[in-house]
Amino acid sequence: MAKMTIRDIEVSGKRVFVRADFNVPLDEKKGTITDDSRIRATLPTINYLIDKGAKVILASHLGRPDGKVVASLRLAPVGQRLAELLGRPVTVLNDCIGPEVEKAVASLANGQVILLENLRFHAEEEAGTPAFAQALAHLADIFVNDAFGTAHRPHASVSGIAAFLTAVAGFLMEKEIEMLGGLLEKPARPFAALLGGAKISDKIGLIENIMGKIDYLLIGGGMAATFLKARSYEVGKSLLEPDRIATVLKLMDGVLRSGAHLLLPEDVVVSDRTDGAGQVKGVPIQSIPPDMRVVDIGPQTVSGFTKAMRQCRTVFWNGPMGIYEVPQFAAGTQAMAKVLAGLKATTVIGGGSTAEAVADRGLAAKMTFVSTGGGASLSFLGGERLPGVEVLLDKKGVAGGY
């Protein structure tokens, strides 16, 4: 990787501000963490800094408090779980800036860890306010970005802080860039992209950027309805983006012109309700009822997608195959997770809800790499420049580029 990491700088005795992504799912009633994958993903960086005698200052957001203090979104549960994983105390502060925070940081000994309170309790975080970024920077000597999941956001703690501190990548950030960058630069072929999720508008840049690099493009999820509509199929009350049909037609033509195979659903699961309480049935795509909507891919499609992926040496998956949160509509997504877990290929999961679906099935460890960034991975693979990566120093000591 062209970017400098914590290996490339002296951290012993330094105050190191680590922007982590501890935006973990919570059981709101119990106030407990339901999936600690994002915390575990940052452990190599934190442990390295501890071992090197750095004074570790961790910072993250949690949820969408919209610039206000929301008790249910405090980071105390994260701090508790992190302490268990590290096997050492983690002091959780009541704020992320101010005199009390500065006092706590000043008392840190080498190898000790503190966790700042939810950054988004301050509206200035998401606004990228320079004064707020400077206040955060005042706490530290070095900035380490290990939060790939927020790297596409120009927030104060993601990119703004780098204007005041030496900025390098953590080990998770390094791995994300290397794994996702490898898909664009040198994927083992045949290479398949399995794409789902609700909207095609979220995936246009990705498809355009990987066109010519992929051998198979497999389309499922809610976005499949727009592809089917573009081919003049009845899609009933399915989620549809009519303003994207012309774009979809161009994408499909481009994929086929590139020599890749385009696989759309052959059969689907439809329902008259999205909560699982209505009528549910499987139909071929030629027979989607006008009063029902597509909620999952069908078994014939699962079979076709499986056959294609088993011929590949690299598979990238982003987006569930249906409304997987509803058990009746989760079969397609679960089947794809199981298939990828059994492939003798490089399997990369594109974060977000796809990563959650894989984790829910206990299959994350069977994948080559599970990205921690949903939107960030789409932006990166779509060829966009990520503010949180751009500001990091490269091996020549200059910020910018990858």
Provide the annotated active-site residues: 38, 199, 352, 375
Sheet (strand 113-115) strand order: 91-92, 113-115, 55-59, 15-19, 142-145, 166-169
Tokens at 352, concatenated = 């977000």
The answer to whether 388 and 368 have CB atoms below 8 angstroms apart is no
Structural contact between residues 114 and 90, judged by C-beta atoms closer than 8 angstroms:
yes
From 387, 375, 390, 380, select the one nearest 128 (Cα to Cα).
Answer: 387
Note the residue count of the chain: 402
Angle of CA points 261, 263, 267, to nearest 5° = 160
Q: Residue 166: enclosing H or E segment and its boundaries?
A: strand 166-169
Cis bond upstream, residue 190 (ω within 30): yes
Q: Return the structure tokens found at 392.
A: 């990091």
Contact 140, 16 (CB under 8 A): yes
Instruction: Tell me the H-state helices in 155-244.
Output: 171-185, 204-210, 224-230
